[in-house]
Amino acid sequence: MERKRVLLGTACFFGIVGFYLAFGIAQESVTKVPFSGENWKFMLTLTWLTCCINALITNIILSCCKRKCHTIKASKNYLATSISNAAAILCTNKSLQYVSYPAQVLGKSCRPIPVIVFSAIIARKFHSIWKWISVVLITAGISLFIYDEDSNIEKDEQKIVYFGDLLLAISLVFDGVTSAFQEKIRNDLKDEPKTNLSSIELMNTLNTWAALISFPFTFINLEIILAFKFMAAHHDVIWKIAVMSGCSCLGQMFIFLCVVEL
């Protein structure tokens, strides 16, 4: 049993790192690389599309496994996780308009801090003092590196970069909230073994809610219409979004596998 958990944990580690590395490269190609001189600026729509594709892929997998997904639960834990996850994706995508991809990766490396803070506040999961010290020291080192990079930027661009850093900080808060509610869901699943909820069903539930919640916001300033016009004019962006969403979906599968099975 222990060997199985070690193998599963190792597979999850490489799956998460590998697919999210590919996701980051695809994400940068969508948000930072111009398409015939025009840049993709429709981050609400990008967030909605990502959640939709994740939900669609998991539905297809469930259909192939002949499992009817009847897990669209409206509990506060599922809704809170869906909202915070969508908000984290939105802030992360939006930040790339203001900071470089390496800076974003470094910023997101501070994720352990909000995770352990909100895990303690929301999920009542407490960590040892040594873990806190290690995480704080690592995060402090990363923060100093980012600050040093920002200090070398011209004054006219500093406000823009600082706004990108603020978006990254907000996304980290939502990451922490998401992880905390996922921990609560995991504890609920342990307390109710009869639910027999698979990682794919959990992922499908959360992404379906995130897609439903984020959809109305895509009509702010008619963004979704402008986004589809952009895709019609620049076909390259369609397959790049598909690759980005596919990598995000596969990475999420390994994350939810950890939440449910480990």
Residue 28 in domain: no
Q: Provide the domain limits for residue 220.
A: 44-227
Task: Give the pLDDT score at 17.
Answer: 77
Query: Rounded CA gap, 205 and 59, in Å?
Result: 10
- Tell me the per-residue pLDDT of 168-195, one tens digit each, with 9 for 90 and over: 889 888 988 888 887 787 777 666 655 5
Residue 55 in domain: yes
Residue 6 in domain: no
The band of 141, judged by pLDDT with boundaries at 50, 70 and 90, is: low
Comparing CA positions, the residue from 221, 257, 258, 261 lying closest to residue 58 is 257
Residue 262 in domain: no
Task: Give the pLDDT score at 94.
Answer: 84
Residue 22 in domain: no
Residue 129 in domain: yes
Residue 188 in domain: yes
pTM beyond cutoff 0.85: no
- Tell me the per-residue pLDDT of 94-112, one tens digit each, with 9 for 90 and over: 887 787 777 777 777 777 7
Residue 59 in domain: yes
Over 60: is that where the pLDDT of 156 sits?
no
Cβ–Cβ < 8 Å for 149, 103: yes
Q: How many domains does the chain have?
A: 1
- Tell me the per-residue pLDDT of 38-63, one tens digit each, with 9 for 90 and over: 888 898 899 999 989 988 888 888 77
Task: Give the pLDDT score at 114.
Answer: 80
Average pLDDT, the chain: 78
